[in-house]
Structures are given as C-alpha cells and as structure tokens.
C-alpha cells in the first residue's frame, strides 16, 4: 500500500459489523491507503446514542488484520482502560475532541507507545482555544510522545454563525503548522453534512494542510452514528482518485 505525501485516513464513524468493515477495508486496499478508522468506543453527547461495539469489535479487527495484513487501525482512546485495551491493536492512537483536555489521559499516552504505533492523532476540542490545543500537544510530548509522532487534527469549532453550528478554523490549523506540527483536517465533523464534505476536503488540501480524516460508509443513510455526514464508498473512491496525493 502506498501512502503519498498527504495523510488520508478513511473509515466509518464507528465499527458496526465485520461486513461493513470488510467493505471499507476493500476500498482502502483499492486506493492503496493504509489508515482505517476503527472506532470501538464512541464518546457520545447523548447517553441514549450508540456507544460503540466496545470489546465485541476486537475479533472483527483481528479478522481484518489476518486478511489485510497491511491495514493500519486508527483507534480513539478515551480513558486509561481503553488505552490499555486498544494500544496493542492500534497503529494510531486517537485522542478525540471531547478528550483533548483529559489531562490524566494525555499524561500517560507516551508510556503506551510502542514501535508498531505510527503516530498519535490529537483532535482539537470543539470549544478549545488555539493555546489550549497547543498545551494539550505539549502534555503528550511531556508524556514521552516525540513531537514528530504527533499529528494534530482541526475538526471544526462551535460557531454561532455557521448553519451547522460548526466551522473549520483554518487559521489555527496553519498556526499549528507554523509551530512545527503536522496538521490534518476533518471535513466530516467539520461540516456535518455529506454534500459539503468533499468541497471542504478540497479546501483543507488547498490550504496546505497535511491530510484528511474522512468518514465513509457502505450504506451511509443507515450509518449507526453520524449518518448525515457519511460519504458513500463510491463517492469516496472517486474523490480520492481525483487527488494528486
Ligand atoms: C471521531 O473522529 O471519531 C470523532 C468522534 O470526532 P471528534 O472527536 O472530533 O468529535
Ligand atoms: Mn463521527
């Protein structure tokens, strides 16, 4: 699998079934992209919403790994317990927006890093200032994560004026790059509407950011979480093939 100059991370909002993940993994293989979103624990605002498959999903990932040995799992960890459980399976440890200031978690991430981990992905909290984001990145560094193994992700901040209540903050992303970090953008959570994900992804790349994290699903309308922003696999394929990355 080739990974070009830009980092492209694709996959569903959450792992739902082996069939779903097999279809998405097939797409990644066709695109020669290794990084697959494999979220087992979903931090949800609403306690009645799907919380993720949790440990039940681990056998699915083991099965995928046996069929597609080059695939790399990007997994969100929201607690020390999840970090302990998922770090052996993950190639990328993702700290989500809601946990950007979970300092006790940030303080231990470095202690879990092993050679099979490619990097740590730190998403920006949706109401966090630029300085708070940078401070959280420094917590990771203090925990033992080398700066060049941290990739930051701008995922849109709360906005009073945007029609979807969220707005991608390009200036902060560019300033984070200026501080020596690699920074990618998330046009899925950054727009919340599938019709605008591809235009926003183009804007992220045009702004000179280092890549994208995008949500896609074999049956977007029936995605268990974040259905409104999920791209189909066909749309995703056409878009990625159109890129020169
Ligand atoms: C995610 O990327 O799975 C996610 C939950 O996004 P965020 O933490 O940015 O809300
Ligand atoms: Mn999502």
**C-beta atoms surrounding 192 within 10 Å:** 18
pLDDT tens, position by position, 115-141 = 999 999 999 999 999 999 999 999 999
Mean local confidence (pLDDT), 201-230: 98
Confidence (pLDDT) at 171? 98
Domains in the chain, number: 1
Residue closest via CA to ligand 1's atom 6 equals: 96
Q: Is residue 2 part of a domain?
A: no
Q: Is residue 1 part of a domain?
A: no
User: For the chain, what percent of residues have pLDDT higher than 70?
Assistant: 98
Q: Residue 145: which CATH number?
A: 3.20.20.70
- Looking at ligand 1, which atom is closest to the CA of residue 124? 9
> Which is it for strands 166-167 and 157-158: parallel, antiparallel or unpaired?
antiparallel
Measured in angstroms, how far is the CA atom of residue 38 from the centroid of ligand 2?
11
Range of the domain at 140: 7-241
Confidence (pLDDT) at 244? 74
CB distance 123 to ligand 1 below 6 Å? yes
CB distance 97 to ligand 1 below 6 Å? yes
Q: Is residue 75 part of a domain?
A: yes
Confidence (pLDDT) at 123? 98
Mean local confidence (pLDDT), 204-208: 98
Mean local confidence (pLDDT), 79-98: 98
- Looking at ligand 1, which atom is closest to the CA of residue 97? 8
Determine the length of the chain. Answer: 245
Measured in angstroms, how far is the CA atom of residue 65 from the centroid of ligand 2?
23
Q: Is residue 145 part of a domain?
A: yes
Q: Are the C-beta atoms of residues 92 and 119 closer than 8 Å to each other?
A: yes
């Amino acid at each position: 699998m080739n990974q070009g100059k830009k980092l492209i991370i694709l996959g569903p909002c959450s792992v739902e079934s082996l069939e779903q993940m097999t279809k998405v993994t097939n797409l990644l293989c066709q695109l020669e992209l290794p990084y697959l979103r494999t979220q087992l624990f979903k931090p949800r605002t609403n306690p009645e919403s799907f919380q993720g498959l949790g440990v039940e999903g681990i056998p699915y990932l083991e099965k995928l790994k046996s069929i597609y040995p080059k695939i790399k799992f990007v997994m969100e960890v929201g607690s020390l317990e999840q970090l302990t459980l998922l770090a052996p399976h993950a190639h990328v440890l993702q700290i989500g927006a809601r946990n950007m200031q979970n300092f006790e978690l940030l303080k231990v991430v470095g202690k879990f890093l092993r050679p099979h981990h490619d990097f740590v992905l730190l998403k920006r909290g949706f109401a966090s200032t630029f300085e708070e984001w940078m401070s959280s990145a420094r917590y990771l560094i203090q925990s033992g994560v080398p700066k060049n193994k941290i990739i930051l992700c701008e995922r849109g901040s709360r906005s009073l004026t945007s029609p979807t209540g969220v707005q991608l903050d390009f200036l902060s992303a560019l300033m984070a790059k200026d501080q020596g970090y690699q920074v990618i953008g998330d046009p899925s959570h950054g727009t919340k509407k599938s019709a605008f994900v591809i235009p926003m992804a183009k804007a992220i790349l045009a702004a000179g950011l280092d890549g994208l994290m995008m949500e896609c699903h074999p049956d977007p309308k029936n995605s268990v979480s974040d259905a409104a922003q999920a791209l189909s696999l066909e749309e995703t394929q056409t878009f990625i093939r159109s890129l020169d990355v």
